[in-house]
């Protein structure tokens, strides 16, 4: 697994998600929970372009406020849906 060193989160802006809509077609690698949050979908691709269910791999069903979620270098989150709470995606 690649390290997280040298990553600059926010270089491409951010998106606040505070509803239960499905967000797809965007690319993120960092998420910060703004409050206790329940995530129903968190998926994307690894550095080789293979599909990954990050919710399962990283066990991020329910996260506490200020939790930091990172995917490995080269991986990308392309789909996120919340059940409750709010996050900022970078």
φ, ψ (nearest 5 deg) of residue 87: -140, 155
Determine how many CB atoms are found less than 10 A away from the CB of residue 76: 16
For 21-31, the pLDDT digits (tens) are 999 999 999 99
For 41-58, the pLDDT digits (tens) are 999 999 999 999 999 999
Q: Tell me, yes or no, if the pTM score tops 0.75.
A: yes
Give the residue ranges of DSSP H helices in 1-90.
54-57
């Amino acid at each position: 697994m690649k390290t997280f060193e040298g990553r600059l989160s926010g270089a491409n802006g951010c998106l606040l998600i505070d509803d239960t809509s499905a967000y797809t077609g965007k690319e993120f690698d960092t998420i910060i929970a703004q409050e206790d949050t329940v995530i129903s979908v968190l998926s994307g691709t690894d550095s080789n372009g293979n599909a990954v269910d990050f919710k399962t791999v990283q066990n991020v069903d329910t996260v506490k406020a200020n939790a930091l979620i990172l995917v490995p270098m080269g991986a990308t989150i392309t789909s996120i849906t919340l059940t409750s709470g709010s996050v900022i995606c970078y």
